[in-house]
Chains A and B, each alone.
Chain A
């Protein structure tokens, strides 16, 4: 195989960082991410050939009420779902794989577990089929996902290259406001 052919047939890698999401209909695209306590939802409509991935970490709920984290998480899920729907997916055909939610530190607060619990509950509430994945555990993961075929691979992150520390988002008091009246 020539170098030019190798380049032409190599998958297009797109890295999905914390707080980001990506949707595509291109079967040649491979999405990658590195997860510690964060969770990535890999979502696709197998009939429409549309899929994508998000990568989120629930914010601390203190000061914004007990549901603040869930509101943030539900929004992170919604933007991925909406972009899939805009690209031709149908809600009743969506299937998801969840990865991440690891317990990265030996502390009383299991941040990764809370993220995993939220993601599982979200899919249950929305009636979205869970097609696989890997949640919780004690280490980081590298995930590769082909959104059109639904193929997913994960590898544990070794101590030599731990996932970058996740920064828990803070909900701004009036994020994105537009002066209206």
Chain B
């Protein structure tokens, strides 16, 4: 049973307000360690220099989108084991299927509730303490 406070999370979204909302939602679940990036390219740079245990990433982003980030993270051995939860604007079956193909651990449809976020994170890490 992992302690949420011990899980380092990278939040990747091109909207500053969405990153802040994800962070405050994670804080309600006990998470304490965060880094943020405004697009997939910046997120990948952060993962390479300082890998996180969990990536929560938007799909629609400039430079490198969420799928591109997912593929790059999985292709780089030091970061390949990170848990990856994709944020989607809607339940896009085609996007979800491609993300599964590239190794996503789960996905979350916006706008989400804290309970939905908790459920998705727990399917990856197990019950949080």
**B96–A180 touching, CB < 8 Å:** yes
Kindly state the separation between the CA atoms of A172 and B16 in the bound complex, as whole angstroms. Answer: 25
Interface size class of A (residues with CB under 8 A): 20 to 34
Q: Within residues 133 to 169 of chain A, which ones have a CB less than 8 A from any CB in chain B?
A: none
The yes or no answer to B100 lying at the interface (CB within 8 A) is yes
**A75–B60 touching, CB < 8 Å:** no
Given contacts A67-B25, A70-B21, A74-B21, contact A177 B16 (CB under 8 A): no
Q: Using CB atoms, name the residue of chain A closest to B15.
A: A78
**B17–A176 touching, CB < 8 Å:** no
**B18–A176 touching, CB < 8 Å:** no
Q: A59-95 interface mask toward B, CB cutoff 8 Å, 1 = contact, 0 = none?
A: 0000011011011101101110110011000010000
**B89–A180 touching, CB < 8 Å:** no
Kindly state the separation between the CA atoms of A58 and B53 in the bound complex, as whole angstroms. Answer: 33
- Name the contact of A78 in the complex, choosing from B91, B110, B112 (C-beta under 8 A): B110
Least distance between B30 CB and chain A CB atoms (Å): 14
Kindly state the separation between the CA atoms of A83 and B6 in the bound complex, as whole angstroms. Answer: 37
The yes or no answer to B31 lying at the interface (CB within 8 A) is no
Given contacts A177-B109, A180-B100, contact A122 B17 (CB under 8 A): yes
How many B residues, CB 8 Å from partner? Answer: 29
**A65–B111 touching, CB < 8 Å:** no
**A81–B90 touching, CB < 8 Å:** no
Least distance between B37 CB and chain A CB atoms (Å): 15
The yes or no answer to A3 lying at the interface (CB within 8 A) is no
Kindly state the separation between the CA atoms of A85 and B20 in the bound complex, as whole angstroms. Answer: 21
Given contacts A65-B25, A176-B90, A178-B96, 14 further A-B contacts (CB under 8 A): A70-B17, A72-B111, A75-B111, A78-B15, A85-B62, A122-B17, A125-B16, A125-B20, A173-B115, A177-B109, A180-B96, A180-B100, A180-B107, A181-B123
| A-B residue pairs in contact (CB < 8 Å), sample of 28 | A64-B114, A65-B25, A65-B28, A67-B21, A67-B114, A70-B21, A71-B25, A71-B110, A72-B111, A74-B21, A75-B89, A78-B89, A86-B60, A91-B14, A121-B17, A122-B17, A125-B17, A125-B20, A126-B17, A127-B16, A171-B111, A171-B113, A176-B91, A178-B91, A178-B93, A178-B96, A178-B107, A180-B100
